[in-house]
């Protein structure tokens, strides 16, 4: 991709990241995303447009509200900058994989995955208000990519992957309901569809990576005395992180493993 295209993708990420801050704050509370306009969480003074520029405004105001002077969490600019960085990295990776028509779907998944991860960390749930509409949205975006590329098998593979990972998580939740919430099951369908669009190995590696990351963090928390063996840890962030990691590393891992088995 050209530098101009990457710059535009990065700017889009900043704007989307600013909106994600609203989503993360309001969706768990059942509030509207459009009304009232953005306001200070402390004094509830509406934020002026020139004080609402992603990242820049927080830095200029030194992390404080322009009206009351109360501190504004550093998470706001981090979400904005992180979304921009994620968008640029996904654009580079999808371009390298010759999957540019599917970029809108992956950007959407990255954005909603980030919002769901932070909400899960905050309130220990994955709201249907975000998860369920993502199914038709991703289906439409992938259908458009399939039509553009003339690759309908990729779309069918995504649908099968979504159903397969949903069924697997459903079975885990049914067998061990204390260890898996149904919100994770519904998120699994999204993860499965996104990963299977690329390939079956990407789906397998991404699904495994989610459990591996969760296990590593769980052991680290227990070792640090921050959690016990029965402490509930939100699993959604690990599912999303494993999926995004697989987008970048699944192909070289699959190639290495195939070479190890003498299949290449």
The partner residues of 71 in beta bridges, in order of sequence, read 64
126 C-beta neighbours (distance < 10 Å), count: 25
C-alpha to C-alpha distance for 194 and 51, rounded to whole angstroms: 36
* 234 and 118 Cβ atoms separated by less than 8 Å: no
* 142 and 158 Cβ atoms separated by less than 8 Å: yes
**Residue 114 — left, alpha, or beta (φ > 0 → left; ψ -120 to 50 → alpha)?**
alpha
C-alpha to C-alpha distance for 196 and 200, rounded to whole angstroms: 5
Span 187-205, average pLDDT: 96
C-alpha to C-alpha distance for 152 and 78, rounded to whole angstroms: 38
Answer whether residue 189 shows pLDDT above 90.
Answer: yes
**CA neighbor of 235 nearest in space, from 206, 214, 215:** 214
C-alpha to C-alpha distance for 243 and 188, rounded to whole angstroms: 10
Q: What is the pLDDT of residue 263?
A: 63
pLDDT cut 70: percent of the chain above it: 98
How would DSSP label each residue in 185-222?
A: HHHHHHHHHHHHHH-HHHHHHHHHHHHHHHHHHHHHHH
* 125 and 28 Cβ atoms separated by less than 8 Å: yes
Q: CA distances (Å), 102 to each of 63, 93, 194, in order?
A: 36, 11, 10
Phi, psi of 221 (to 5 degrees): -65, -40
Answer whether residue 151 shows pLDDT above 80.
Answer: yes
* 40 and 65 Cβ atoms separated by less than 8 Å: yes
pLDDT cut 90: percent of the chain above it: 68
Q: Which helix (H) or strand (E) holds 140?
A: helix 128-149
pLDDT in tens, 231-258: 778 999 999 999 999 999 998 887 777 6
pLDDT in tens, 11-26: 999 999 999 999 999 9
**CA neighbor of 215 nearest in space, from 203, 233, 201:** 233
pLDDT in tens, 127-138: 999 999 999 999
C-alpha to C-alpha distance for 260 and 246, rounded to whole angstroms: 19
């Amino acid at each position: 991709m050209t530098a101009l295209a990457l710059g535009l993708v990065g700017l889009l990420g900043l704007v989307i990241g600013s909106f994600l801050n609203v989503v993360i704050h309001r969706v768990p509370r059942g509030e509207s995303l459009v009304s009232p306009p953005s306001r200070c969480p402390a004094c509830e003074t509406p934020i002026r447009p020139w004080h609402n520029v992603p990242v820049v405004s927080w830095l200029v105001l030194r992390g404080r509200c322009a009206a009351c002077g109360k501190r504004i969490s550093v998470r706001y600019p981090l979400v904005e900058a992180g979304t921009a960085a994620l968008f640029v990295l996904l654009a580079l990776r999808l371009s390298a994989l010759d999957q540019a028509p599917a970029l809108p779907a992956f950007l959407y998944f990255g954005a909603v995955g980030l919002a769901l991860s932070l909400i899960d960390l905050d309130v220990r749930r994955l709201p249907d208000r975000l998860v369920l509409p993502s199914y038709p949205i991703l289906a439409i975006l992938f259908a458009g990519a399939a039509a553009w590329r003339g690759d309908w098998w990729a779309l069918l593979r995504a649908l099968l992957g979504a159903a397969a990972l949903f069924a697997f998580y459903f079975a885990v939740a049914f067998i061990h309901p204390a260890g898996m919430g149904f919100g994770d099951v519904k998120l699994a369908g999204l993860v499965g569809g996104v990963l299977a669009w690329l390939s079956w190995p990407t789906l397998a590696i991404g699904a495994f990576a989610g459990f591996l990351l969760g296990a590593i963090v769980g052991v680290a928390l227990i070792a640090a005395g921050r959690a016990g063996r029965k402490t509930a840890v939100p699993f959604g962030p690990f599912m999303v992180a494993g999926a995004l990691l697989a987008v970048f590393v699944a192909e070289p891992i699959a190639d290495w493993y195939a070479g190890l088995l003498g299949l290449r």
